[in-house]
Chains A and B, each alone.
Chain A
Amino acid sequence: DTAVSQTPKYLVTQMGNDKSIKCEQNLGHDTMYWYKQDSKKFLKIMFSYNNKELIINETVPNRFSPKSPDKAHLNLHINSLELGDSAVYFCASSLRSLAGGPSDTQYFGPGTRLTVL
């Protein structure tokens, strides 16, 4: 009964490769997010989708492309991987009603540790 799941948990790859990380939530939430945690544990938002529509796109290289086939899934594809892309990537989701409030609570997946060699 995992709420927010990510695959794979670990990803080790060579520079220049293309890779994808998948995220699924079974909470019935409308909004999903991708965050990046660097080696100093700093967490920063990358993207957000609401009902399959992109609503947040931070200053992320265009080698990163999110895709949301439906509101329960948000995948992250990374082209031409670089050493600096090594990090832990977290997916999150929230219900987010127009009224705000506790529905804005974000729930995080277990993370995907990406290592680029």
Chain B
Amino acid sequence: KAGVTQTPRYLIKTRGQQVTLSCSPISGHRSVSWYQQTPGQGLQFLFEYFSETQRNKGNFPGRFSGRQFSNSRSEMNVSTLELGDSALYLCASSSSGTPDTQYFGPGTRLTVL
């Protein structure tokens, strides 16, 4: 079974721009979660989608949004980028979102200049 894939792997943007990151979960997994990883704040939960519905949301500003499609693929959007948004964005999928294992993708490294 193919693992979680994320595209693109690397991205460079400038302040004020917006960006969309994509995540394809493991086949059959219906839950997709997003995390932001920075040296200062560590790993922080952004949001989780299950069957196209956002079920849980972390403490991030409204500039961070996401969605999930009927095939369980998910996108994350960040508008009006700030320097502090530079981070590794990780996507994880699980089959149901219960205390099931979350499988992580390789991440998208976003650099904001």
Verify that A and B bind, or say they do not: no
User: Which residue numbers of B lie inside 8 Å of A, CB to CB?
Assistant: none
